[in-house]
Amino acid sequence: MIHYDYGLFVIGAGSGGVRAARLASAQGVKVALAEERYLGGTCVNVGCVPKKLLVYASRFRDEFDASAGFGWTVGKSTFNWTSLIANKNKEIERLHVVYNNLLQNSGVSIITGKAQVLDAHNVAVKGKEFSAQRILIATGGWPFVPDIPGKQHIVTSNDMFFLEQLPKRIIIVGGGYIAVEFAGILNGLGVETTICHRGHKLLSGFDGDLCDFLAHEMTKKGIKFLFNTDIEAVVSSGDTFDVQLSDDSKISTDLVMFATGRTPNSTGFGLEELGVELDSERAIKVNSDYQTNVTSVYALGDVTNRVNLTPVAIAEGVALVNKLYTNQSRPVDYDNIPTAVFSQPPIGTVGLTETKAREKYPDIDIYMTRFTPMKNTLSDQDEKTLMKMVVVRSTDQVVGIHMVGTDAPEIIQGMAVAIRAGATKAVFDSTIGIHPTAAEEFVTLHGTMP
């Protein structure tokens, strides 16, 4: 029998890699985990966690304004970006300690440095070689910036969490969830914000009514949109930048952020030299068991570019360990995965969009409502809520639920359970609502849309 230093060598300490490492170690496997940057990966360091903290910070201005309608008198308020970032950093450092302790207490060996895959069973980190029965690549993704003149002046979402000071004006390029989330954050903190998007609609792949509704609500908050427009060059002009647009016009701004997607972080690890297959977008190609064409090498999470969500990477890590070490095949179900966009107002969605549902079923009914949330009746704020339900008429099954509005992500988590359980519209209709809440609208929706 061949002796290996480790049964499993994990490259990448993001959510998926950490979960797989811990669970495998709990099964008695000797596990090492190599990470060159920071424990927790994108989500903990430059993604979900710090972004949500910044979203919270950006909402306070509206809350202060709203309080007057409820009898409060709030004195002059000021905002300190440096203080927010310092507190954010302190929280991330706390999470680093948590991750470190979880791994060490699980018996996982943490190796700091960039790993290089030498062959099917050997990895090197900082000149030291390790052998492993299996190698797992969980290196995530990285922001993509096109190669345009002035690229060196452009920042990405990674950089936004470490800005020394807020700009007075910013142009955000892109129309995906990162673009709209940072637009809401910066606008809420008083930055003059413009989104420049080469498409004609936000959030490709989301339900069209949600996208239109969100753009309308964001416009009401003062965010500007330049649709069907691309940036061709960024020119430094003293302390500002001149941005050349595809229609030959120019805009002056203090900062240019690109949120034009993320690419799989698959290069520089020796995978191509080993012969591991990558697709046209450089994502690692895997089978249903997360195995590459090199049988001892596995990959999961964003580096495979399938469903790029933290909980999905975690679920894939669990599924892989179950398959390899517990003889229990529990594959991840990629249907009906709920997701949220922490825009302002936020989006929560699960199941099929109206367009996808009509492609799959011949008989679709749409139930939809727009309304002013109860809180806004006294606050005199103009933000509204949209709720939408997609139902197959012949079976009465609910196949999609979508919401834009306060607490949408929290509400949709419960709706996701109902959809996975196969709830029908009749089940929703027979469920007693919690009053007064926005969520009760989902059990009182009546009248189909034409």
Is residue 314's pLDDT more than 80?
A: yes
Which is more confident, 329 or 326? 326
Token digits for 95?
């999470």
Cα atoms in the Cβ-side hemisphere of radius 13 Å centred on 212: 5
Alpha carbon of 140 to those of 40, 136, 365: distances in Å? Answer: 11, 12, 39
**3-class secondary-structure state, position 77:** coil
Q: Which residues face 236 on adjacent strands? A: 241
Q: What is the 3-state secondary structure (H, E, C) of 127-141?
A: CEEEEEEEEEECCCE
CATH number of this structure's domain 6-142+263-325, picked from the four choices 3.50.50.60, 3.90.650.10, 3.30.70.100, 2.60.120.10: 3.50.50.60
Rounded distance, CA 241 to CA 112, Å? 38
Contact assessment for residue 40 and residue 14, using Cβ atoms and an 8 Å cutoff: yes
Q: Provide the pLDDT for residue 447.
A: 78
Q: Provide the pLDDT for residue 329.
A: 84
Average of pLDDT values for 385-412? Answer: 98
Average of pLDDT values for 178-205? Answer: 97
Q: Which residues face 406 on adjacent strands? A: none
Token digits for 375?
């809180």
Nearest to 180 by CA among 155, 210, 206, 214: 214
Rounded distance, CA 29 to CA 15, Å? 19
CA angle 169–173–178, rounded 5-degree value: 100
Average of pLDDT values for 297-319? Answer: 97
Contact assessment for residue 113 and residue 130, using Cβ atoms and an 8 Å cutoff: no
Is residue 449's pLDDT more than 90?
A: no
Alpha carbon of 188 to those of 44, 104, 221, 364, 407: distances in Å? Answer: 22, 40, 9, 38, 17
Domain 339-443 has CATH 1.10.8.10: no
Q: Provide the pLDDT for residue 383.
A: 95
Contact assessment for residue 59 and residue 34, using Cβ atoms and an 8 Å cutoff: no
Q: What is the CA radius of gyration of the chain?
A: 24
> Quick check: bond before 146 cis, omega within 30?
no
Strands 128-137 and 297-299: parallel
For residue range 229-287, list pLDDT tens digits in order: 999 999 999 899 999 999 999 999 999 999 999 999 999 999 999 999 999 999 999 99
Distance, CA of 75 to chain centre: 36
What mean pLDDT value characterizes the chain?
96
What band does 448 get if pLDDT is binned at 50, 70 and 90? confident
Average of pLDDT values for 200-208? Answer: 96
Average of pLDDT values for 290-306? Answer: 97
Fold of the 151-260 domain? FAD/NAD(P)-binding domain (3.50.50)
The residues assigned a catalytic role are 435
Q: Where are the alpha helices (DSSP H) in 132-269?
A: 157-160, 177-188, 208-220
Contact assessment for residue 8 and residue 132, using Cβ atoms and an 8 Å cutoff: yes
Average of pLDDT values for 198-213? Answer: 97
Place of tokens 């591991």: 276
Is residue 450's pLDDT more than 70?
A: no
Average of pLDDT values for 153-177? Answer: 97
Q: Provide the pLDDT for residue 328.
A: 85
Nearest to 84 by CA among 51, 38, 39: 51
Rounded distance, CA 365 to CA 369, Å? 14
Q: Where are the domains of the chain?
A: 6-142+263-325, 151-260, 339-443
What band does 380 get if pLDDT is binned at 50, 70 and 90? confident
Contact assessment for residue 52 and residue 342, using Cβ atoms and an 8 Å cutoff: yes
Rounded distance, CA 379 to CA 71, Å? 10
Residue 8 identity (one-letter amino acid): L
Token digits for 70?
């409820």
Rounded distance, CA 344 to CA 195, Å? 14
Place of tokens 């011949």: 362
Residue 21 identity (one-letter amino acid): A
For residue range 336-355, list pLDDT tens digits in order: 999 999 999 999 999 999 99
Contact assessment for residue 74 and residue 61, using Cβ atoms and an 8 Å cutoff: no
Direct distance between the N- and C-terminal alpha carbons of the chain, in angstroms, rounded to an integer: 68
For residue range 24-79, list pLDDT tens digits in order: 999 999 999 999 999 999 999 999 999 999 999 999 999 999 999 999 999 899 99
Token digits for 80?
């300190």
Task: Check for a shared fold between 151-260 and 339-443.
Answer: no
Buried b (16+ CB within 10 A) or exposed e, 260-271: bbbbbbbeebbb
**3-class secondary-structure state, position 255:** coil
Average of pLDDT values for 216-231? Answer: 97
